[in-house]
Amino acid sequence: MLHCLFWVKFLAAFSRVEDVVEAYFMLRNYLVLRNIPFRKRKMWSDIDVLAFNDKELYIAECKRGAVRDPNTVINHLIAAENFLRNTSPYREIIEKLGLKIRKMYVAEYIRKEREEIEKAGIEVRNVKEVIKDVIDMVQTSLTKEKIEGMYPSPLIRYIVLLCKTKHIRT
Q: Give per-residue pLDDT as tens, 62-86.
A: 998 878 899 999 999 999 999 999 9
Task: Enter the pTM of the model.
Answer: 0.86
Q: Using 50, 70 and 90 to split pLDDT, how confident is the model at 88? A: very high
Q: How far, in Å, CA of 117 to CA of 13, rounded? A: 25
Q: Give per-residue pLDDT as tens, 23-56.
A: 999 999 999 999 999 988 788 999 999 999 999 9
Question: Do residues 117 and 106 make contact, with C-beta atoms less than 8 angstroms apart?
Answer: no
Question: In the chain, where are the structural domains located?
Answer: 13-126
DSSP 3-state assignment of 13? helix
The correct answer on CATH 3.40.50.970 for the domain covering 13-126 is no
Asked if the model's pLDDT at residue 87 lies above 90, the reply is: yes
Cis peptide before 89 (omega within 30 of 0): yes
Cα distance between the two ends of the chain: 39
Q: What is the mean pLDDT of residues 16-21?
A: 94
pLDDT at 160: 87
Q: Which of 64, 83, 86, 55 is nearest to 20 (CA)?
A: 64
Asked if the model's pLDDT at residue 168 lies above 70, the reply is: yes
